[in-house]
Amino acid sequence: MNEALIKQHIKQYKDAILKQVLQSTLLKYTGAPVIDEERLFFTLLPLFNGEEWEDSQRNSAIAVTLIFSALAAHDLVKEMNATTKEQQLQVLAGDYYSGKYYQLLASDKQLVLIQQLSDGIATISEHKTRFYDRKLYSFEHLIQSIQLIESKSIEQFFEHYSFHEYVFFMKESLLLISLKKELAAYGQGNDPFYISKSSQLQANINLLKAEIKKVESLLIDEVKNSELLQDHLKSIILEKLMKCTLVQQLREG
């Protein structure tokens, strides 16, 4: 599948996701749900690589994206201040997206996947608390938590449909992209989610840079030498992995 067709598929999925959650009041006060195109790309990685892809996979991929939209909506609620109408509706939007993912899978009789994803959401929430409580976690544990938060639901989706060989590429890519975005935002004086909430990460920026280099080097080698991924898809993945670095360099230049 070439790059133009991949972009077309991503647009079609985004349109299908937005169609699932059309609600005038929520759209007025909270806007459209957050849909991370990079995460959506890696959710659809098996499709882009030519794997068999039926309606059940399509519906499940939409449901997984709705889970991340729900989590993003809850993250947008200001800490300790959910008193305004807009903030209360933001909470409601997150709950609404969660209900839609459940409804979509239930209508497809995907009860096993619903249970798996529900357990995964609980695990994601548990790991997110590491960035709110005052406990000291090791740098390694925080990196593991970031990777889990960014990719757990997609991993469960892949495992459910026996796309096991894609899990490594998806998890490592989403970790790398997330860490690069965090570091770039922090360097510009912004408050990226993970770094701003973790004194441990703030105190170990050099370790974070080293981790990014390590993950990037390993992942690039694995993508280049993969016998699973088609050549055109390798090029697109590699371009995505380097994108954040290029954007950062342009801004700093």
- Please give the domain boundaries of the chain with CATH numbers for all domains: 3-252 (1.10.600.10)
Query: Rounded to whole angstroms, how far apart are CA atoms 173 and 241?
Result: 7
Per-residue pLDDT, averaged over 82-107, amounts to 80
Above pLDDT 70, what percent of the chain?
89
Q: Report whether pLDDT(85) > 80.
A: no
Per-residue pLDDT, averaged over 149-157, amounts to 97
- pLDDT on residue 91: 76
Q: Which amino acid is at 200?
A: Q
Per-residue pLDDT, averaged over 150-167, amounts to 98
Q: Report whether pLDDT(252) > 50.
A: no
- pLDDT on residue 21: 82
Q: Say if residue 201 is exposed, middle or buried (CB neighbours under 10 Å; 0-12, 13-18, 19+).
A: buried
- pLDDT on residue 220: 96
DSSP for 214-233, written as a single string: HHHHHHHHHHHT-SSS-HHH
The pLDDT tens digits of the residues spanning 1-16 come to 888 999 999 999 999 9
Per-residue pLDDT, averaged over 149-166, amounts to 98
Residue 88 neighbours by CB distance under 10 Å? 13
Q: Say if residue 250 is exposed, middle or buried (CB neighbours under 10 Å; 0-12, 13-18, 19+).
A: exposed
Question: CA-based Rg of the chain, rounded to a whole angstrom?
Answer: 18
The pLDDT tens digits of the residues spanning 178-216 come to 999 999 999 899 888 999 989 889 999 999 999 999 999
Per-residue pLDDT, averaged over 72-92, amounts to 69
- pLDDT on residue 89: 76
Q: Report whether pLDDT(26) > 90.
A: no
- pLDDT on residue 93: 80
